[in-house]
Amino acid sequence: MINIGNNREETASVTVENKETRQQERRLVEASQNGDKKAFGLLIRMHQKRLFRFIYGLLGSFDMTEDVVQDAFVRAYKAIDRVNPEYAFYPWLSTIARNLAYNQIRKEEKKDSLDGMQETGFDPRSTELGPLESLLNDESKKRFYEAVQSMPVKYRTVFALRHFEDMDYAAIGSYLKIPPGTVDSRLYRARKFLLEQLKDLL
């Protein structure tokens, strides 16, 4: 049975925690805009794991993801004055990183192809992702990530936002500036693609 009282307490706790986190983030953004490098480092630490997972979902390579994320941090620091502290910092940061990831994908497509990325995109030496590291020891999970990387970019992006970022359809549509119906269609195609690629495991 569901304990309604506990659920309400948990919901209230999460709400308070989110509010406190936003207040802390706002203070760090304002301090960063005043030249406090330590504050910017703390700001990045709040979001780096989430950002790494998202970009890894797009690129499928530890090395490329590290490069893109580091570049995004540098660009964010240089442009921190453009941020409105009243708004959440992560969407702005992730947009910078996503655009850099797109540039990387286009370079890889020109140089070889997305299939080439699939073959060379997994380097288990990195320990930065914690729980994700153990996933790469599982052959079926490795196959899953390889299949994700072989998807066309527009489907892969929607899939990553939905399943790695846990965004709802409306949020994805707003983030990518596409209608919710397009989000639904791309997710359907992405899942259909994965089912076809992984049918021998299902």
pTM beyond 0.75:
no
**164 occurs within a structural domain:** no
CA-CA distance, 85 to 73, in Å (whole number)? 17
**74 occurs within a structural domain:** yes
DSSP alpha helix (H) spans, the chain: 4-33, 37-59, 62-78, 89-111, 114-120, 131-135, 139-149, 153-163, 169-176, 180-197
Q: What is the mean pLDDT of the chain?
A: 78
Whether 99 contacts 54, CB under 8 Å: no
Q: Which amino acid is at 11?
A: T
Per-residue confidence (pLDDT) for residue 52, from 0 to 100: 92
Whether 190 contacts 156, CB under 8 Å: yes
Cα four-point dihedral sign 85, 86, 89, 91: negative
* Vertex 192: Cα angle to 190 and 196 (nearest 5): 115
- Domain enclosing residue 111, as ranges: 11-123
Q: Is 114's pLDDT higher than 80?
A: no
**166 occurs within a structural domain:** no
Give 57-104 pLDDT, tens digit per residue.
888 888 889 999 999 999 999 999 999 999 999 999 999 999 999 888
Give 132-183 pLDDT, tens digit per residue.
444 444 667 778 888 888 888 889 889 988 888 888 999 899 888 899 899 9
Q: What percent of the chain has pLDDT over 90?
A: 38
Burial of 22 (0-12, 13-18, 19+ CB in 10 A): middle
Q: How many domains does the chain have?
A: 1
Q: Nearest CA to 193 among 133, 151, 139, 142?
A: 151
Tell me, what CATH number does 118's domain have? 1.10.1740.10
Whether 33 contacts 79, CB under 8 Å: no
**150 occurs within a structural domain:** no
Per-residue confidence (pLDDT) for residue 18, from 0 to 100: 74
**148 occurs within a structural domain:** no
**68 occurs within a structural domain:** yes
Question: Which band of pLDDT confidence, cut at 50, 70 and 90, is reported for residue 105?
Answer: confident
**141 occurs within a structural domain:** no
Question: Which band of pLDDT confidence, cut at 50, 70 and 90, is reported for residue 131?
Answer: very low
Q: Is 31's pLDDT higher than 90?
A: yes
**144 occurs within a structural domain:** no
Place of tokens 């990183």: 97
Around Cβ 202, how many Cβ atoms within 10 Å?
7
